[in-house]
Amino acid sequence: MNKDIFNPECGCGSVDHFSRRTILKAAGLSGLTWLTPLGDLLAKSAGKKGQAAKAKSVIVLWMAGGPSQLETFDPHAGKPISDGTGAIKTSVKGIQLAKGMEQTAEVMGDISLIRSVVSREGDHERATYNVKTGYRPNPTVVHPSLGSIITHEIPNNDIEIPTHISILSNQWPPRGGYFGPEFDAFKVGDPNKPIPDLVSNVDKAREKLRYESLSVVERVFARGRQPNLDRDKTLHMATIKNARRMMTSDQLKAFDISGSPGTEVKDFGETPFGRGCLAAVRLVEAGVQCVEVNLNGWDTHVNNKEGHAKNVPQLDAGFAGTIKALKARGLLDSTLVLCGGEFGRTPKINPFGGRDHWPHGFSIAMAGGGIRGGHVIGSTDPNGQSKEPENPVNVQNIHATILQQVGLDPEDEIMTPVGRPILLSDGAVIEELLA
């Protein structure tokens, strides 16, 4: 079979260009079984994945604005670049964290730190895109974020609520990219408040009448449009059906932390971020595949100490609480937790007492989902003279590692709607991170 052949009927190329989701979709539409050639093809495709999935879900704790590595995961206490920030011991001998990260220090045995992450993006929007998608911005294509890839490639039709969620989202939420807006993250606010627009503002009889009236309009609209669809349905009606399914689902309770014991809420920190972390654990427990929890306010060009003094306690309680709760529920092994931002902060303090953007060696923490615990990769110059960290790790390598852990082959090619093949990731798996 010619690898360069493009099949316009299925929107994909050769066997090498099939995604697992494309094959599963084709199998479902055709009613074929594992005894068919398509079944053989799917078996071969799955065989390329190497190892079985270690993680079923991913939680991203997103530090928007770029946290300083020196005040969090990579302290250089006693050095001028520390600006007086002290270091504390952790549960793992030889690994230190910045003062204020005491709760995280207790669970260091479950965490790997990459202290030498590098990228070529120093602008907030571009760097956010880079870290969330694993690709640098490109004017010819919009790449999907990590959660969009997972939910597109490994669909879970058994769950009635969104499987890709962003809590306390900011102006650059995870996007579906070339997979389409249906794979954008579902955005919610502080979990101590109900999700808006889930309860009808009219009684059931009137609500039923409204839907019946709408169906009449939809049937007329559907005539002559998209002949591959059932004439009695449109994509709009499918959207409404999914929304109504969610509105009546018992799984919505996962968003509601009001019934959680007060001690549990306190363990995460009684802040919007802490409540978001608790909600993330509950959502993963309900079957959600990817949850992002945002903690904004790390862009400390001015008064870096004061900014981190406010945010570090929230990060510490939320991160540690997430790991402890997942472990207590028996979910840490099947849930990969990623914690970081778009870049770090400069070793040098500027004239305003702040630190500027630094993509030349910043820190990202990972835990669970088959990730090795109690480990550190890379190091930065304790004197702040060199931009080059020891053992640099590119952003795309982190993506490749996560994709492998959830059971995907980072080297799989996806055919975009315009017929362009793109790898899920152009990075390499970080074998040193794996348990």
CA distance 237 to 228: 15
CATH architecture of the domain with range 57-194+256-433: 3-Layer(aba) Sandwich (3.40)
pLDDT at 152 (0 to 100)? 96
- 376 - beta bridge partners? 113
pLDDT at 195 (0 to 100)? 73
CA distance 70 to 76: 7
Beta-carbon contacts of residue 181 (< 8 Å; ≥ 6 apart)? 175
pLDDT at 261 (0 to 100)? 83
Q: What is the pLDDT along the chain (435 residues), one digit of tens a residue?
A: 343 433 433 334 434 444 444 444 444 433 333 434 444 434 434 434 456 889 999 999 999 999 999 999 999 999 999 999 999 999 999 999 999 999 999 999 999 999 999 999 999 999 999 999 999 999 999 999 999 999 999 998 888 899 999 999 999 999 999 999 999 999 999 998 877 666 666 677 776 776 667 676 666 666 665 555 554 455 566 666 676 666 677 878 888 888 788 888 899 999 999 999 999 999 999 999 999 999 999 999 999 999 999 999 999 999 999 999 999 999 999 999 999 999 999 999 999 999 999 999 999 999 999 999 999 999 999 999 999 999 999 999 999 999 999 999 999 999 998 899 999 999 999 999 998
pTM score: 0.84
The residue ranges of every structural domain in the chain are 1-48, 57-194+256-433, 195-252
pLDDT at 18 (0 to 100)? 45
Side-chain half-sphere exposure of 71, counting CA atoms within 13 A: 27
pLDDT at 212 (0 to 100)? 67
pLDDT at 68 (0 to 100)? 98
